[in-house]
Structure 1
Amino acid sequence: MSADFLNPVALEVLQHYSRLLWSGSPQPLGNHGGFSGARLWQIDGPAGPLCLRAWPAGFPPERLLFIHLCITCARNAGLAFVPRMLPSLHQTLRIDYGGRLWELQEWLSGEADYHRRPSSVKLRAACAALARLHACWPSSDRFNAKPCPAVRRRLEAVREWRELVRSGWQPLAQAAPDDPARQAAERAWQILSHRIDAIPDLLKRWNTRIWPLQPCLCDVWHDHVLFDGNHVTGVVDYGAMKIDHPAVDVARLLGSLVEDDPAGWTTGLTAYREVRPFTAEEEELARALDVAGTTVGASVWLRWLYHDGKEFADRVAAARRLEVLVKRIEKWY
C-alpha cells in the first residue's frame, strides 16, 4: 500500500475520532525522515496540531499495546515531553483500518537541533529526560532477570553477517555506479572485514551476566529528542520499544549526541545519575553496547541497502545514515 493510497485512508481513519479533536485535512509527511515503514500526517486541532500515524503493515497489535501502556504510564507520571495519546470514539488508542494500525497523538513542538546548537545544558537535559522515562518504567516481577537482550541482538547480527559473507555475497556487486550510498558502502565493507569479528570478544563478558530488565526505548537518538532552546520538549518515536536494560538507551543516546567525547559522556551520565542510579558496571555495559551497536549498525545498513530488499523513499538519506556510522568507526583506527 503506497503512501499516496494511504492519504485518503488517513481521512477515513480520522472519522473514528471526535470532530472536537481535529479539523481540516491531514497533511502527509511521508516517513518524516524515518525508515521503519510508518507514515505520518499532521492535523490541525483546537488545542494545537496533532500527529496521525499509520504503523508499518504487519506491526503486531500486542507490541503496540505494550507501547501505548508505556506511553500512558509516562504521561500519567507528568512527563510532558511524552506525546499524549488521544482515544477514538470507541475509547481505544488504536484503530485497525485498511490493513494497518493507526493512532492519534499530540504533535510535540521543538527541533532535533543538538548537533547544530550543542551545549552541556542541552546534553544534561536530554539525559535527565531519558532517566525520568526509565524511572517511570521500573523492572518488576513480570520481567524475569536475564542477560541483556541488546547484547544478544548484536551477537546475532554478527552471526548473520558472517553467514552472509561466507555465502559469497558482496554489497558492491549490487551497487549501481550512481548509487548515492556506494562510497559509504565501499568504506563500510572494508571496515567490517576486520572490525566486526572483534564484537563477540567485546561482548563476551556481558553475554551471560544477569540483569533486571524493564521497558526501554531501544532507538532513542539525536533525531528523536526535540528541544526548545535548552529545554527538552519531546522524546518521540516509541516504535522500537522492548524489554531490555537501560544501558541500551544510554548507549544509543550518548553515542548519537557526543559520539566518543569523554567529557560529553561524563556530563550526560552525571545528569542521568542525578535522576536514577546507574552503576559503574552499567556504564561499562553502555560503552560496550555503543561500540558494538555502531559497528553492527553498519552491517545492518549494508544488508538493508544491498541484500534484504528494503525499500527507501529517500536513498540519499539512507546513505547519510550509513556515512555517519562509517565516519565514526574510521576514527577508532
Structure 2
Amino acid sequence: MTPATTNFYYEGPHRSESTAKEWDLSSRLETTDPANQARRVLAEFPPKYQPESLRLIDRQGFSGAQIFQVKTSIGDFALRAWPSNGPEIQRLRALHRLLSHIFSRGVENIPVPILSSQSSSVVEMFARHWQLEPWMPGKSTFHDNPSDARLVDVMKCLASWHNAAADFSEAKCFETKQGESPGIVARAEQLKKLKSSLSRRLDVKRMNAPQDFVLVVNDTLQQFELLADKIARQLTFASNLQVRCQPCIRDIWHDNLLFTEDRLTGIVDFGAAMSDNIAIDLARCLGSLLGDDKSRWDTAINQYQQLRQLSNDELTLIEVFDQANVLLSGTTWIFRFLNGEQQLASDKRVIDRMQMFLDRMKQLPT
C-alpha cells in the first residue's frame, strides 16, 4: 500500500521518493514567500479581486502588520496580514462590522473589509489573519503641510466617526456605556510597571548599544524621574471620572491620516479600536499632529465641538491622556529594550520617535 504521506507529493505513478522530497521543499519555500502567500489568500476572494500586480509595501507600521498593494481590473486594494499576536478573529469580525456600520452612516473615507467567497471578512491562512480592503487614496503628509483646512477636516471626520460609532451595539468590546476610561486605567497600571522596571537605570547606562540610542535613553530617563509621580497622580484622579465610553479608534495618529491636497481622504489601521472615552482619540490625534501648539489644539477642539460636544470631564481627560502618552511612549521603548528587544537600539524610526517624545517631555510642567 502506498503510504498516506505520499499523496502530498503525488503527480503521477512513477514519481521517485527523491523527486517527491525536492517537490515538497520547493512547495514549502513557495508558500513561505510573502507574495505567494498573498496570492493564495487572494484566491479565496471572487474573481474580480484577483491581482494583476502585487506589491509588498516597504514601510511597515509599529503594529507589525504586513500590507500588500493589490492592483486589479476594478481598482486598487490593500491586503493586510495581521501579525500572529494581532487581534483575535472574533474581535476582528466585530471591528469589520463596526466599520461597515460607520461607513453606512456617511463616513466614507475608511476602508471597509471585503467579504471572501465564503462570505467572511477574515481569511485564516499561514497562521495569520488576513483582510482585503479598498486602497485608500492620499499620503500621510500633514507635517509637510499642516494647514488649518487639513486640521478642520480631520476634526470634522473624527467627530462624525464618533457620532456614527456611538449607536453600534453588536459587540461587547465596542459597547457604549458610562464608566471609567479603560485607557486611563491601563496607563496608570503601565506607569506603575515602568517605574518599577526602569529602576534598572544603571543597566541601561552600561548597555552595549549605539551612542545615539544611549543618549536619548538617558535623557528620557531623567525626564521620566521628574514627571512620573505628578502624572501618576493625574491618572489616579482621572481614573475616578465617570464618562461615556463608546467605540474609539485609539491609534489615530499622523501616519494613519491620508491627505489629498487639503482633504482627509483616508484613515487606516483600526486594529487597536475598542470602547473608551473619545478623549483618547483626540489626545492621540492632536498630540501627533500639533505637538505642544496649544493655540491650535484649542482651534481643533472647538472645531470638533461643532459636531460633538465635550463635557468638562472629557476636556480634562484629553489633557491627562496627552501628558501620559508623552511620558509613556518614549519610556515604553526602553522597557521593551530591557526585556529583550535589542534590535530597537539600531532602529532609526524608534530613535526618532523617542527623540520626538523626549522633546515634548521637556515641555511638560513638573
> Structures share a fold, TM > 0.5?
yes
**Residue 101 (structure 2) pairs with residue 73 (structure 1):** yes
Distance 1:63 1:298 in 2: 28
For residue 133 of structure 1, what is the aligned residue in structure 2? Answer: 161
Distance 1:194 1:19 in 2: 59
Higher helix share: 2
User: Of 297, 312, 315, which residue of structure 2 is paired with 1:280?
Assistant: 312
Query: Which ranges of structure 1 fall in alignment gaps of 5 or more residues?
Result: none
For residue 147 of structure 1, what is the aligned residue in structure 2? Answer: 180
Describe the superposition over 1:253-298 as per-residue Cα deviations: whole angstroms up to 9, x where unpaired. Answer: 1111112212211111111111111123311210111011111111
RMSD of aligned Cα (Å) = 2.3
Query: Is the Cα contact below 8 Å between 1:174 and 1:306 reproduced in 2?
Result: no
Query: Is the Cα contact below 8 Å between 1:125 and 1:271 reproduced in 2?
Result: no
Distance 1:33 1:269 in 2: 30
Distance 2:35 2:342 in 1: 22
Identity, % of aligned positions: 24
Answer with 272-281 or 11-20: which moved more: 272-281
Q: How many residues align?
A: 330
Flag the 1:139–1:28 CA change in 2: closer, same or farther, 3 A. same
Residue 138 of structure 1 and its aligned partner are, at CA, apart by 0.8
**Residue 83 (structure 2) pairs with residue 56 (structure 1):** yes
User: Of 124, 131, 142, which residue of structure 2 is paired with 1:103?
Assistant: 131
For residue 297 of structure 1, what is the aligned residue in structure 2? Answer: 329
Distance 2:49 2:363 in 1: 49
Letter matched to residue 335 of structure 2: R
Higher normalized contact order (CA 8 Å, seq sep 6+, divided by chain length): 1
For residue 122 of structure 1, what is the aligned residue in structure 2? Answer: 150
Residue 211 of structure 1 and its aligned partner are, at CA, apart by 1.5
Residue 123 of structure 1 and its aligned partner are, at CA, apart by 0.7
User: Of 336, 341, 347, which residue of structure 2 is paired with 1:309?
Assistant: 341
Distance 2:223 2:315 in 1: 26
User: Of 213, 221, 227, which residue of structure 1 is paired with 2:245?
Assistant: 213
**Residue 73 (structure 2) pairs with residue 46 (structure 1):** yes
Answer with 129-138 or 183-192: which moved more: 183-192
Distance 1:25 1:67 in 2: 28
Distance 2:84 2:101 in 1: 26
Letter matched to residue 147 of structure 2: S
Letter matched to residue 158 of structure 1: L
Query: Is the Cα contact below 8 Å between 2:48 and 2:74 reproduced in 1?
Result: no
Query: Is the Cα contact below 8 Å between 2:166 and 2:176 reproduced in 1?
Result: no
Flag the 1:202–1:170 CA change in 2: closer, same or farther, 3 A. farther
Flag the 1:194–1:83 CA change in 2: closer, same or farther, 3 A. same
SS in 2 for 1:213: strand
Residue 310 of structure 1 and its aligned partner are, at CA, apart by 7.4
Query: Is the Cα contact below 8 Å between 2:142 and 2:254 reproduced in 1?
Result: yes
Flag the 1:163–1:314 CA change in 2: closer, same or farther, 3 A. closer
Answer with 260-269 or 181-190: which moved more: 181-190
Query: Which ranges of structure 2 fall in alignment gaps of 5 or more residues?
Result: 1-28, 170-174
TM-score (norm 1): 0.92
**Residue 268 (structure 2) pairs with residue 236 (structure 1):** yes
Distance 2:227 2:338 in 1: 20
Higher-Rg structure is 2
TM-score (norm 2): 0.84
Distance 2:131 2:273 in 1: 16
SS in 2 for 1:274: coil
**Residue 141 (structure 2) pairs with residue 113 (structure 1):** yes
**Residue 190 (structure 2) pairs with residue 157 (structure 1):** yes
Distance 1:307 1:189 in 2: 16
Letter matched to residue 330 of structure 1: K
Letter matched to residue 213 of structure 2: A
SS in 2 for 1:40: strand
Query: Is the Cα contact below 8 Å between 1:175 and 1:306 reproduced in 2?
Result: no
Flag the 1:314–1:164 CA change in 2: closer, same or farther, 3 A. closer
Distance 1:136 1:85 in 2: 18
**Residue 63 (structure 2) pairs with residue 36 (structure 1):** yes
Query: Is the Cα contact below 8 Å between 1:139 and 1:212 reproduced in 2?
Result: no
Describe the superposition over 1:36-93 as per-residue Cα deviations: whole angstroms up to 9, x where unpaired. Answer: 1110110102232110000010331122122212211111112121013211111110
Query: Is the Cα contact below 8 Å between 2:177 and 2:246 reproduced in 1?
Result: no
